[in-house]
């Protein structure tokens, strides 16, 4: 349960690289992995809590879809009143087990405010939501299923409710995109990842994390029926939108 377990999963050169999976090994190192791999992750999580504070009125429900170990869930809980609840959903059993263990161990967390669900976000009911968060999750959903999921999220929001969508995005072809990729790899190097680890993780993520361009995301948000959106965060090739109905 310690957040200090160092991610060295891709430093082991043994055998061919397998497709990336959110299994028990990844869950064990996830806080370290995500902090060292996603520039601005802490701000993304912290600011999501501040958005929750603005939109989550008394008695409303927030959804943290693809919650992993619940960083966003905890950020929402910290910033909202005692009668705001969070539905935290992930289809990786190791993540949900890790989240439950963490919540139980944190004296300051009111566990009665959190419902944890080990389920596919494509099949759960989304109702009465003041906030839905997809923090680095939509990128793992097959492209052809992204529109349907966004439509269901829109239908589940209450008036004044918003979606936070944060994604790794595909930069433009050419020098601009190359700069973002190069700097992201430099960020990983600066955080202690080896050339081997960077290359093996790139291969592991290839068919699993499918990034799309900013334009593709914004076109789909409009197609899903959202009234508008604003980009409120970007660090290298990671971006977040606040999306309203
Ligand atoms: C990069 S992690 C998200 C990080 C997390 N939101 C945070 O802020 O720390 C992506 C998560 O989405 C989950 N996930 C991917 N596809 C899913 C699906 N179809 N249904 C439920 N969870 C999914 C994975 O198991 C993984 O835990
Ligand atoms: O793009 C990468 O190399 C990443 O490590 C990104 C990313 C993500 O965006 O979800 C991929 C897998 C891990 O969950 C943590 C971070």
137 alpha carbon – ligand 1 mean position (Å): 5
- Ligand 1 pocket mutation pick from 68, 96, 99, 142 by most atoms within 8 angstroms of CB: 68
Distance of alpha carbon 176 from the chain centroid = 24
DSSP state of 234: E
Which ligand minimizes its atom distance to the CA of 142? 1
- For residue 62, say whether it is annotated as part of any ligand binding site: no
pLDDT band at 15 (very low <50, low <70, confident <90, very high): confident
pLDDT band at 40 (very low <50, low <70, confident <90, very high): very high
- What does the pLDDT look like over 129-167, one tens digit per residue? 999 999 999 999 999 999 999 999 999 999 999 999 999
pLDDT at 2 over 90: no
Give the per-residue pLDDT at 109: 85
Three-state secondary structure readout of 150-203: HHHHHHHEEEEEEEEEEEECCCCCCHHHHHHHHHHHHHHHHCCCCHHHHHHHHH
Q: Report angle CA 154, 155, 156 to the nearest 5 degrees.
A: 90
CA distance 226 to 55: 16
- For residue 67, say whether it is annotated as part of any ligand binding site: yes
pLDDT at 236 over 70: yes
pLDDT band at 239 (very low <50, low <70, confident <90, very high): very high
Its ipTM equals 0.98
In this prediction, residues 13-39 reach a mean pLDDT of: 94
Residue with tokens 């989304």: 126
Pairing of strands 114-118, 61-65: unpaired
Surface-to-core class of residue 210, CB atoms within 10 Å of its CB (0-12 exposed, 13-18 middle, 19+ buried): middle
Q: Catalogue all structural domains in the chain, each as residue range(s) with its CATH number.
A: 1-245 (3.40.50.150)
- What does the pLDDT look like over 95-134, one tens digit per residue? 999 999 999 999 888 899 999 999 999 999 999 999 999 9
Q: Cβ(166) to ligand 2 under 6 A?
A: no
CA distance 68 to 98: 8
87 alpha carbon – ligand 1 mean position (Å): 14
Give the per-residue pLDDT at 1: 61
Q: Cβ(96) to ligand 1 under 6 A?
A: no
Tokens at residue 68, please?
């992993």
pLDDT at 14 over 90: no
Average pLDDT, the chain: 96
Higher pLDDT, 109 or 204: 204
- For residue 96, say whether it is annotated as part of any ligand binding site: no
- Number of the ligand 2 atom closest to the C-alpha atom of 140: 10
């Amino acid at each position: 349960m310690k957040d200090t377990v160092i991610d060295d999963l891709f430093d082991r050169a043994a055998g061919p690289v397998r497709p990336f999976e959110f299994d028990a090994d990844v869950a064990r190192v996830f806080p370290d992995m995500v902090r060292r791999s996603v520039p601005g992750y802490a701000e993304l999580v912290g600011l999501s809590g501040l958005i929750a504070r603005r939109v989550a009125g008394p008695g409303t429900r927030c959804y943290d879809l693809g919650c992993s170990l619940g960083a966003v869930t905890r950020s929402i809980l910290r910033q909202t009143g005692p009668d705001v609840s969070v539905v935290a959903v992930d289809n990786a059993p190791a993540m949900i087990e890790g989240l439950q263990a963490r919540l139980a161990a944190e004296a300051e967390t009111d566990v009665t405010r959190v419902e944890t669900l080990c389920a596919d976000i494509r099949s759960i009911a989304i109702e009465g939501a003041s906030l839905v968060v997809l923090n680095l999750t939509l990128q793992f959903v097959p492209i052809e299923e992204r529109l349907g999921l966004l439509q269901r999220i829109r239908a589940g929001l209450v008036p004044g409710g918003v979606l936070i969508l944060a994604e790794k995005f595909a930069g433009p072809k050419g020098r601009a995109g190359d700069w973002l990729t190069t700097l992201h790899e430099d960020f990983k190097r600066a955080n202690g990842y080896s050339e081997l680890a960077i290359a093996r993780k790139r291969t592991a993520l290839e068919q699993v994390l499918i990034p799309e361009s900013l334009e593709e995301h914004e076109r789909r948000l409009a197609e899903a029926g959202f009234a508008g959106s604003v980009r409120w965060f970007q660090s290298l090739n990671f971006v977040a939108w606040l999306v309203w109905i």
